[in-house]
Amino acid sequence: MARYILTLEGGEFEVSVESENKSELVEKLPELVELYRLVASRVGELGRRPTPAKRRGKSEAIEVLRHLEEKILNTNFFKQPRSTAEVRAKLKEVVGVLFQSRKVSQALGILHERGLLSRVGQKGSYKYYSR
């Protein structure tokens, strides 16, 4: 036999009624709406939990990656191995923005994973170059 569920959703809650009979479900609708309003008012009295800030735009590492791909990779800059600090300084020169060292390093790691750059040295002091 079919089972029917009617649900009213609030921001942080939902109220449902279920039945095997459609007409019984329709009869319970006013009761469901009343319960929904009661719960909504109580949630309002308790105050809403602060919602976490939503990310806006692209992450800094993705911005660095885009600038590297568009403005630096197609030059001779990576003909010799370059440290994160050197790449960061080059980005400042070309783009006019001093990005966080950590974000530049992340972008260089992504380019290495994609096979666009090779690297030499030990972890923490890699130097990147084009193949």
98-112 per-position pLDDT tens digit: 999 999 999 999 999
CA 71 to chain centre: 25
Residue 89 near residue 104 (C-beta atoms within 8 A): no
Token code pair at residue 33? 């709406």
Residue whose C-alpha is closest to residue 95's, from 56, 60, 46, 43: 60
5-57 per-position pLDDT tens digit: 888 877 677 888 888 888 888 888 888 888 888 888 877 766 655 555 555 54
First to last CA, the chain: 67
Least-confidence region, from 44-53, 89-98, 114-123:
44-53
Q: SS3 string of 30-99?
A: HHHHHHHHHHHHHHHHHCCCCCCCCCCCCCHHHHHHHHHHHHHCCCCHHHCCECHHHHHHHHHHHHCCCC
pTM as predicted: 0.56
